[in-house]
């Protein structure tokens, strides 16, 4: 019989409980994490044998978003979950990043963490619980792991920080900060914000790190109570003596190479040549294999580059620690795209192209989050030619999804509302050349493309990637890092924002953690760089274009009575299809009666607007209409004066002469011209044909069209108003 044990703690005013022992007994470690009615299931398992020939740690984190957690059936044809959604990929990446640095460096066994959503209350975000679940499953498992790791979400509302807020609480927040760390340091940061200043961001980091400590305590308690002994594993290590042999053979050549200012291609060429020489020489004179020699050479070169930065402040391309590469910004590169921007920073080049669409083209999200759609999308593509390589082209990788989402979040805070700019926006960033910081180049390219399109963004946004080299107490923070600095350094800290503040932030780290003080210094240095990049963007295009491109759709917005929507759509959609076919415009209708008309030219939009207005026009007292008789009664005729709008012409108002039978004047299907004389509070319309025939003014018609008394057989109907013909007699 499996024995379940439950552990509980408080974060702010919210209870978090973790249970283990009941589910998945054959996994290395398994837990359920609960906050409110949201429950996440996490497992951690390690393969028993190491992977041969790997030079990296084979960790995989997967998050499976099961819609049963929200009481829903998938909308796909097979009614089954398919490939992970973008949201699921981002949650998996979020859980991966803080735990990865805490595994032993010499562990090469496959480790897999799998997360399931078992229940979702629609109020509690599940991503932070995923990090807690992954760390706890590893902490109590037999997998070697240097945790625990805690995670927390920080919102900023009414000048106060709120921890692990609900979706509702985040609606009024100018900050959505996800933070993970150990007892002493921060390991991972993911943030989107409404132009939050650096001081507030640092305060949020410090407050979040303090608030997550109970989760650390809880995991330590669980490890003591139910944790398994860690398994012995076969450590991966270089052949004994190979590092010293490579270092001795290379001598000063690695240091000389690190001291030169080279382009990426030049550095790669020189490194490949020197590596080939080392391998050829040592294979003949030693028993070391080629892979061990090559890996030892990479370590020797890494040490020299890091030493050069720390001791001399010189980077591989010759820059100082705060220097930014040359920037070139251009717009309007594609004649048919609705907007485009090319951002080049050193050897990194990104082309971003924008497309405008109607509101109907927004993306519908089928997940557990209460956010059901988005009208701004950013997609990031990283082809192999951008780094001079070849490989098969497949769907978007996890990395591409993550970089695209980061650049998307950076621009969302400055976008106009749907009322201000009634369009769906899709941006695609094509990485044409890569040597570091392509995601931040995508942010800059997106700003250029939006400005070129004519999207009225509130402020331009720029991004810069910061790096870190740290040895003991010595460290250097690097601005605008290269690809090799990302690879050989200890941190990739991406910061995007406007002149007013930060809109997006992401940190990946390879060491055991950073203090808030070090992050504060990095943010300050990033702000200086951001101002420089914004200057370059504004030199190219200082503000949004006043007119859209010729091929971009022009949107006209109408507001109609929601009860009139059926008149526009028509039976089986016939009416709206006819309007679109005749005008070439695209029409979207919202449930609240908002109608969006999209057309590439003015006449098409105007014609579509006229047709819609004629279908949804409201009757006006005193106005004359020509309509069709739709129904006959003994007291009058009902005439449809507008689509789905009819009124009554009383028998006394059908003609200038006395009428005995309605059918004497009007039959079903006849067209007659009438004036609206009254609309009562219930919307019932009274019409008069006599008013048109007599030429009465609206005031005369309303005065004369008094509801007559009920006719009695054989009784006089009373004196009729004299017509002009009567008066002439």
CA distance 145 to 46: 11
Average of pLDDT values for 318-334? 96
Which long-range contacts does 690-693 make (Cβ < 8 Å, 24+ apart)? Answer: 690/652, 690/653, 690/654, 690/655, 690/656, 691/653, 692/624, 693/655, 693/656
Helices 398-411 and 86-99 pack at an angle, to 10 degrees, of 100
**Quick one: tokens of 560?**
């109609």
Spatial strand order of the sheet with 376-381 comes to 327-331, 339-345, 348-357, 424-433, 376-381
Query: Which of 15-24, 66-75, 96-105, 420-429 shows the lowest per-residue confidence on average (mean pLDDT)?
Result: 66-75
Check: CB of residue 556 under 8 Å from CB of residue 609: yes
pLDDT of residue 457: 98
Domain 5-226 and domain 327-540, same fold? Reply is yes
Spell out a b/e string for 289-314, using b for 16 or more CB atoms within 10 Å of the CB, else e. Answer: eeebbebbbbebbbbbbbebbbeeeb
Segments in 166-289 forming alpha helices (H): 167-170, 198-211, 213-226, 242-250, 253-259, 264-285
Q: Under CATH, what is the fold of the domain 624-728?
A: OB fold (Dihydrolipoamide Acetyltransferase, E2P) (2.40.50)
φ, ψ of residue 368 to 5 degrees: the values are -85, -15
CA distance 521 to 257: 30
Average of pLDDT values for 519-537? 96
554-616, which class in CATH? alpha beta
Tens digit of pLDDT for each residue in 145-158?
998 999 999 999 99
Which pLDDT band, with edges at 50, 70 and 90, does 464 fall under? very high
Helix, strand or coil for residue 172?
coil
Check: CB of residue 646 under 8 Å from CB of residue 639: yes
Phi-psi map region of 313: left, alpha, beta (phi>0 left; psi -120 to 50 alpha): left
Q: Write down the residue that tokens 């949020």 correspond to.
A: 204
Q: What is the pTM of this model?
A: 0.87
pLDDT of residue 76: 78
Q: What percent of the chain has pLDDT over 90?
A: 74
Which CATH number fits the domain 5-226, given the four candidates 3.30.70.100, 3.40.50.2300, 3.30.230.70, 3.40.1190.20?
3.30.230.70
**Quick one: tokens of 181?**
């760390």
DSSP class of residue 325 equals -
pLDDT(709) > 50:
no
pLDDT(713) > 50:
no
pLDDT of residue 325: 97
φ, ψ of residue 261 to 5 degrees: the values are -95, 105
pLDDT(551) > 70:
yes
**Percent helix, percent strand, percent coil in the chain, to nearest 5:** 35, 30, 35
Which pLDDT band, with edges at 50, 70 and 90, does 421 fall under? very high
φ, ψ of residue 344 to 5 degrees: the values are -120, 125
CA distance 483 to 79: 43
The length of the chain, given as a count of residues: 729
Task: Please give the CATH number for the structural domain made up of 327-540.
Answer: 3.30.230.70
CA distance 330 to 351: 9
Q: What is the largest CA-CA distance in the chain?
A: 134
**Quick one: tokens of 111?**
């480790």
- What is the residue extent of each domain of the chain? 5-226, 242-312, 327-540, 554-616, 624-728
User: How does strand 424-433 pair with strand 376-381?
Assistant: parallel
Which pLDDT band, with edges at 50, 70 and 90, does 618 fall under? confident
Average of pLDDT values for 259-276? 90
Check: CB of residue 423 under 8 Å from CB of residue 358: yes
**Quick one: tokens of 487?**
């690879």
Architecture of domain 242-312: Orthogonal Bundle (1.10)
């Amino acid at each position: 019989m499996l024995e379940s044990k439950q552990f509980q703690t408080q974060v702010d005013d919210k209870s978090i409980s973790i249970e283990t022992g009941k589910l998945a007994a054959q996994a290395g470690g398994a837990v359920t994490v609960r906050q409110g009615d949201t429950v996440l299931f996490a497992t951690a398992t390690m393969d028993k044998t190491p992977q041969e020939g790997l030079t990296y740690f084979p960790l995989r984190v997967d998050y499976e978003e099961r819609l049963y957690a929200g009481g829903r059936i998938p909308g796909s044809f097979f009614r089954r979950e398919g490939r992970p959604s973008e949201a699921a990929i981002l949650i998996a990446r979020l859980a991966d990043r803080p735990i990865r640095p805490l595994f032993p460096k010499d562990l090469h066994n496959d480790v897999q963490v799998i997360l399931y959503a078992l229940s979702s209350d629609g109020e509690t975000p599940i991503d932070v619980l995923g990090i807690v679940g992954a760390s706890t499953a590893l902490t109590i498992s037999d997998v070697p792991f240097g945790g625990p790791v805690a995670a927390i979400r920080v919102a900023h509302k009414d000048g106060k920080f709120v921890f692990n807020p609900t979706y509702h609480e985040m609606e009024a927040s100018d900050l959505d900060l996800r933070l993970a760390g150990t007892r002493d340091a921060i390991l991972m940061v993911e943030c989107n914000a409404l132009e939050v200043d650096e001081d507030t961001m640092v305060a949020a980091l410090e407050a979040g790190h303090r608030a997550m400590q109970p989760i650390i305590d809880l995991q330590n308690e669980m490890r003591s109570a139910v944790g398994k002994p860690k398994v012995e594993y076969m450590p991966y290590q270089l052949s004994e003596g190979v590092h010293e042999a490579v270092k001795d053979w290379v001598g000063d050549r690695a240091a000389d190479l690190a001291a030169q200012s080279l382009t990426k291609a030049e550095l790669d060429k020189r490194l490949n040549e020197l590596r080939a020489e080392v391998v050829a020489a040592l294979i003949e004179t030693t028993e070391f294999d080629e892979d061990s020699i090559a890996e030892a050479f990479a370590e020797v070169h890494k040490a020299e580059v890091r030493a050069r930065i720390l001791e001399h402040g010189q980077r591989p391309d010759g820059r100082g620690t705060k220097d930014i590469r040359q920037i070139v910004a251009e717009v309007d590169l594609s004649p048919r795209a609705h907007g485009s921007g090319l951002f080049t920073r050193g050897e990194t080049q990104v082309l971003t192209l924008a497309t405008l669409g109607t509101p109907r083209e927004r993306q519908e999200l089928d997940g557990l989050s209460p956010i059901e759609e988005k009208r701004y999308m950013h997609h990031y593509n990283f082809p192999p030619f951008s780094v001079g390589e070849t490989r098969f082209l497949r769907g978007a990788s996890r990395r591409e999804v993550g970089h695209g989402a980061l650049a998307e979040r950076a621009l969302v805070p400055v976008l106009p509302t749907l009322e201000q700019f009634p369009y769906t926006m899709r941006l695609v960033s094509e990485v044409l050349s890569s040597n570091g910081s392509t995601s931040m180049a995508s942010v800059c390219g997106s700003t250029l493309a939006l400005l070129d399109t004519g999207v009225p963004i509130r402020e331009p946004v720029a991004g810069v990637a910061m790096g870190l080299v740290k040895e003991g107490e010595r460290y250097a923070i690097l601005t605008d890092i290269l690809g090799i600095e990302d690879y050989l350094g200890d941190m990739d800290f991406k910061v995007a924002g406007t002149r007013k503040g930060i809109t997006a932030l992401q940190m990946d780290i390879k060491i055991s953690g950073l203090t808030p003080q070090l992050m504060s210094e990095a943010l300050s240095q990033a702000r200086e760089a951001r101002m420089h990049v914004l200057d370059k963007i504004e030199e190219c295009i200082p503000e949004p274009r006043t007119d859209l491109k010729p091929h971009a759709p022009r949107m006209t917005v109408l507001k109609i009575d929601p009860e009139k929507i059926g008149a526009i759509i028509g039976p089986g959609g016939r009416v709206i299809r006819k309007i679109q076919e005749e005008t070439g415009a695209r029409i979207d209708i919202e449930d609240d009666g908002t109608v969006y008309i999209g057309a590439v030219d003015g006449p098409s939009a105007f014609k579509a607007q006229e047709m819609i207005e004629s279908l949804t026009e409201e009757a006006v007292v005193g106005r004359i209409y020509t309509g069709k008789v739709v129904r006959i009664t003994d007291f009058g005729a009902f005439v449809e004066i507008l689509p789905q709008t009819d009124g009554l012409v009383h028998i006394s108002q059908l003609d200038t002469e006395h009428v005995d039978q309605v059918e004497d004047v009007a039959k079903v299907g006849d067209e007659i011209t009438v004036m609206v004389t009254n609309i009562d509070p219930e919307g019932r319309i009274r019409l008069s044909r006599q008013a048109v025939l007599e030429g009465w003014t609206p005031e005369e018609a309303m005065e004369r069209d008094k509801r007559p008394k009920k006719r009695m057989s054989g009784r006089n109907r009373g004196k009729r108003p004299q017509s002009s013909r009567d008066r002439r007699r």
